[in-house]
Chain A
Amino acid sequence: MPKDGGIGASSKRREDVRFLTGTGNYTDDINLRGQAYVHFLRSDVAHGRLSKVDTTEAEGMPGVVRVFTGADFEGVGGLPCGWQVTDRFGEVMQEPAHPVLAQGKVRHVGDPIAAVVAETREQARDAAEAIVLDIEELPAVVDMKAALKDGAPKVHDDLTSNLCYDWGFVEENKAAVDEAFEKAAHVTSLELVNNRLIANPMEPRVAVGDFNRSTGDSTLYTTSQNPHVIRLLMGAFVLGIPEHKLRVVAPDVGGGFGSKIYHYAEEAFCTFAAKALNRPVKWTSTRGEAFMSDAHGRDHVTKIELALDADNNFTALRTDTHANMGAYLSTFAPCVPTWLHGTLMAGNYKTPLIYVNVKAVFTNTVPVDAYRGAGRPEATYQLERVIDKAARELGVDPITLRRQNFITEFPYATPVAVEYDTGDYHATMDKLEEIADIKGFAARRAESEKRGKLRGLGVNCYIEACGIAPSNLVGQLGARAGLYESATVRVNATGGLTVMTGSHSHGQGHETTFAQVIAEMIGIDADQVDIVHGDTARVPMGMGTYGSRSLAVGGSAMVRATEKIINKARKIAAHLMEASEGDIELKDGQFTVAGTDKSVAWGDVTLAAYVPHNYPLDDIEPGLEETAFYDPANFTYPAGAYAAEVEVDPETGRVTIERFAAADDFGNVVNPMIVDGQVHGGLAQGIGQALLEGCAYDENGQLLTGSYMDYAMPRADDVPFFAVDHSCQTPCTHNPLGVKGCGEAGAIGSPPAVVNAVVDALRSGGSNITHIDMPLSPSRVWQAMQG
């Protein structure tokens, strides 16, 4: 039984009260004295040569302060890319410039061309309509394979083609993989699309730039998952502001799902313009702008082949993927289809030989980057779909085929460069069979059939690599950043703690869970611990929150800093009790001397640290504040098994999710209530991808899904109650909390379960269908049923 407020307790979230009473502090709630408002004029064509931006009339409009164009940014750096991929021939990727405002060309619908700063938001918008553009529209490239053909229009004139890179992994294994396919008893192949998605956190992006002329300090308030990263990227690479003169604040942030990791043009603009105009400048994205300027996700087109021997053992896997980069390289875009995708292709299975080829392609579309799961959902989807197809072709039960090929011994070095530290895939599958009531499926199918509905069951496994990431490893792979995390633990004289973490919370509940960890370590009430995040002026350094890394990496930094605190406090306690340091024990907030009844309370020790009248000043300094940086030794590997049960209406093709079960192994769990919530949210996003969501462009590069009227977000009646379980726990072996991360699992594991279930349902109705591409809209399903 966990202690109240400690590790393992479902503590209620302390951040909830402000969110529930309307007193949160989101970026759009920040209004600075004298602020002006910016409206961006964006390209309404996908590809064009921009010869003139006439701002004369706009500048004379009421309230207009100044109109900026690309010419104002000629001496300013472009938006940088944080990852450089080296291709299969040893060449580095093609990396185009990404200006803050368009220079010479526009490359996607939504590309910002000019920025009007005015006294009010409405005046800025009105004046933008008076800007006259001279754009020669050029043929757009939208389809990736067409973009790679000879003579295709080039998105970037100065690059040799629209190919960003052609990546092979593991290139040295290619011949062996091909040979294994030659010898295979059975080969299953499948071509599929991982549909393009838009993250759609409910809070649109906002940026407020400020400049203090007397100190020369710039401040940016922004909707970011990693304010320190923005400070570094924007300060060092775009605007040339040293970090000590630039503060970035990401206050309450209304969801991110990856889309708020990246450094965006609007942030750089507001910071730049605040200095140029010597007054605060604010931008609030509309949802319409978000659709055409937030980084999109997924968008892979893949052919996958699985080779099996005569005993149904997987012998080799080969994939060929085209990955859309969009018009520019967003901050982490190049690593998503490579190192976050290729390295996961082993999945939960002991396939000895794997070769992954990825061609990353520039198109006249919004840049594509990491979205919840980032590369791992794409890997899981293709692998779990091809295994399901293989099971049908071979006439074996899909669960049995998976179990037969499970990795069972750990640590396990995959043929795709990663080493899984722990796991128990049979245990999560056993748990899934129980909570999904797989045995009861036949009866439920019969009942559905009585009502004229087709019922299907889809099962799959997943594994992900979280806790991103060991800096020395990712450095070799092309990362231009370290991926450690930092924490500073400040103990106040009266015993309360202020903990500054570089992780950022935008829905994950860190203020609650991180406090639980520290309260448990010291044995004090969690209310004595405050968690501070999201402000570069208060937190020394941080790499932020993405890749399910906050607890595994940020939490580990916090544990290390707290260990330093406890070690120092133990010295003080030893001095106060005139005992040997080695005999001091800390339990329930009391330091005791082993084997005696001597004790001194936590608060007495902390007071002594700041009022050092009786203090070992010869040995240690006064004060009680420690910082730790934690760089993980390996990724963490959460894994699990999911089951979807669907009904298909054969009259309309409409799919409903009747039951969904998820059995996850996240290692140790700090707050089970919050972990369940993370899984629920991920499942809804994965089900959204499978059934509803699909970003669509027409052949001219016009965004067809530019609002919630066209882009189908999952609503409350699109999903059922979920059965989730994380009682199978194989703790991570290399971080101090034994945690693995839970934020992305639901979105990674659920799409293949849904598609497997729909295929199963249709086949139960006599169809011989083997695949339908997501989203499985009624029209797609109905058409597939027509044969």
Chain B
Amino acid sequence: MPEISMTVNGKPAKGHIEGRTLLVDFIRENLGLTGTHVGCDTSQCGACVVHVDGRAVKACTIFAAEAEGAEVKTIEGMAEPDGTMHPIQAAFQDHHGLQCGFCTPGMVMSAAALLAENPTPTEAEIRAYLEGNICRCTGYHNIVKAIMAASGQDVSRIAAE
């Protein structure tokens, strides 16, 4: 089986894979980084979103071999080394933007990609951007609110949290 190597959360990572191995399986099975989740098989749900060279990518939708040499960031790479959560992670906790937690890693990674390209998105822009991330628990209310808060917007006037 061929060997691939990439940088994952700032550390070198390599492993032997089959040609058909998906990036998400390499991350979960070879590297043991189980924060990235698989929620569907049609690239719809977004539970597997990671960053590849700074872009949000559904890790179930590319082969591991396609990420050869890339800089990959997963949910495990978002907090500071001392455990301090990234402002988006903190906002999700502050505003109850997660319940069962399964879609959450993908939501956080998508939110981070959104704020990188649009630092103060409107409610409508956030909802449109999250088209590829499905949450079954929260009704999205507190996810949208958390992302607005993480971008520095005043969310105190939005209906109860």
- Closest Cβ–Cβ distance, residue A347 to chain B (whole Å): 24
- Closest Cβ–Cβ distance, residue A198 to chain B (whole Å): 11
Residues of B within 8 Å of A257, CB to CB, are 136
Q: How far is the CA of A715 from the CA of B129 in the complex (A)?
A: 10
Which residues in chain B, 23-70, are within 8 Å of chain A measured between CB atoms? 33-42, 44-45, 47
Residues of B within 8 Å of A29, CB to CB, are 34
Known: A29-B34, A202-B47, A708-B42. A20 touches B98 (CB 8 A): yes
The answer to whether the Cβ of B151 comes within 8 Å of any Cβ in the partner chain is no
Central interface residue in A23, A26, A122, A677, by most chain B CB within 10 Å: A677
Known: A676-B160, A716-B143. A13 touches B33 (CB 8 A): no
Contact bitstring A320-349, B, C-beta under 8 A = 1, else 0: 000000000000000000000000000000
Q: How far is the CA of A48 from the CA of B104 in the complex (A)?
A: 42
- Closest Cβ–Cβ distance, residue A356 to chain B (whole Å): 31
Q: How far is the CA of A716 from the CA of B142 in the complex (A)?
A: 11
Q: Which residue of A lies closest to B9 (CB)?
A: A22
B34 and A21 within 8 A (CB):
no
- Closest Cβ–Cβ distance, residue A260 to chain B (whole Å): 11
A202 and B89 within 8 A (CB):
no
Which residues in chain A, 11-49, are within 8 Å of chain B measured between CB atoms? 12-13, 15-24, 26, 28-29
- Closest Cβ–Cβ distance, residue A437 to chain B (whole Å): 12
A719 and B140 within 8 A (CB):
yes
- Closest Cβ–Cβ distance, residue A621 to chain B (whole Å): 40
A21 and B85 within 8 A (CB):
yes
In the complex, how many residue pairs between chain A and chain B have their CB atoms under 8 Å apart?
A: 193
B131 and A715 within 8 A (CB):
yes
Binds B, one of A96-104, A187-195, A506-514: A506-514
Contact bitstring B115-137, A, C-beta under 8 A = 1, else 0: 00000000110111011011111
A204 and B39 within 8 A (CB):
yes
The answer to whether the Cβ of A722 comes within 8 Å of any Cβ in the partner chain is yes
Q: How far is the CA of A765 from the CA of B130 in the complex (A)?
A: 33
Q: How far is the CA of A122 from the CA of B139 in the complex (A)?
A: 35
| Count of residues in A whose CB is under 8 Å from the partner chain | 61
B101 and A676 within 8 A (CB):
no
Residues of B within 8 Å of A716, CB to CB, are 126-128, 130-131, 133, 135, 140, 143-144
Central interface residue in B39, B45, B131, by most chain A CB within 10 Å: B39
B101 and A254 within 8 A (CB):
yes
Contact bitstring B83-100, A, C-beta under 8 A = 1, else 0: 101000100111010111
Known: A122-B20, A507-B99. A13 touches B93 (CB 8 A): yes
Q: How far is the CA of A707 from the CA of B143 in the complex (A)?
A: 24
The answer to whether the Cβ of B138 comes within 8 Å of any Cβ in the partner chain is yes
A19 and B104 within 8 A (CB):
yes
- Closest Cβ–Cβ distance, residue A723 to chain B (whole Å): 5
Residues of B within 8 Å of A202, CB to CB, are 37, 39, 45, 47, 100, 102-103, 134-137
Known: A286-B41, A676-B96. A22 touches B36 (CB 8 A): yes
The answer to whether the Cβ of B3 comes within 8 Å of any Cβ in the partner chain is no
Q: How far is the CA of A12 from the CA of B157 in the complex (A)?
A: 20
| Count of residues in B whose CB is under 8 Å from the partner chain | 60
B100 and A255 within 8 A (CB):
yes
Q: How far is the CA of A724 from the CA of B160 in the complex (A)?
A: 7
A203 and B93 within 8 A (CB):
no
The answer to whether the Cβ of B108 comes within 8 Å of any Cβ in the partner chain is yes
The answer to whether the Cβ of A713 comes within 8 Å of any Cβ in the partner chain is yes
- Closest Cβ–Cβ distance, residue A534 to chain B (whole Å): 13
- Closest Cβ–Cβ distance, residue A5 to chain B (whole Å): 15
The answer to whether the Cβ of B149 comes within 8 Å of any Cβ in the partner chain is no
A684 and B140 within 8 A (CB):
yes
Known: A12-B93, A29-B34, A202-B45. A683 touches B139 (CB 8 A): yes
Residues of A within 8 Å of B103, CB to CB, are 202, 254
- Closest Cβ–Cβ distance, residue A643 to chain B (whole Å): 13
B127 and A20 within 8 A (CB):
no
Residues of A within 8 Å of B131, CB to CB, are 715-717
Of B75, B124, B137, which is within 8 A of A21 by CB? B75
B136 and A255 within 8 A (CB):
yes
B100 and A253 within 8 A (CB):
yes
Q: How far is the CA of A722 from the CA of B145 in the complex (A)?
A: 11
A201 and B35 within 8 A (CB):
no
- Closest Cβ–Cβ distance, residue B16 to chain A (whole Å): 13
Q: How far is the CA of A202 from the CA of B33 in the complex (A)?
A: 19
Of A21, A286, A713, A723, which is within 8 A of B78 by CB? A21
Of A28, A509, A681, A717, which is within 8 A of B128 by CB? A717
Of A508, A708, A719, which is within 8 A of B99 by CB? A508
Which of B's residues lie within 8 Å of A, judged by CB?
18, 20, 33-42, 44-45, 47, 74-76, 78-79, 83, 85, 89, 92-94, 96, 98-105, 108, 123-124, 126-128, 130-131, 133-145, 158-161
User: 6 shortest A-B CB distances, which residue pairs?
Assistant: A22-B35, A19-B101, A254-B102, A507-B100, A684-B139, A507-B99
Question: What are 27 A-B pairs with beta-carbon distances under 8 A?
Answer: A10-B161, A16-B92, A19-B100, A20-B75, A20-B93, A20-B98, A21-B78, A21-B83, A21-B89, A202-B45, A202-B103, A202-B134, A255-B137, A676-B161, A677-B141, A680-B138, A684-B140, A707-B44, A708-B40, A708-B44, A709-B44, A716-B127, A716-B128, A716-B133, A716-B140, A716-B144, A717-B131
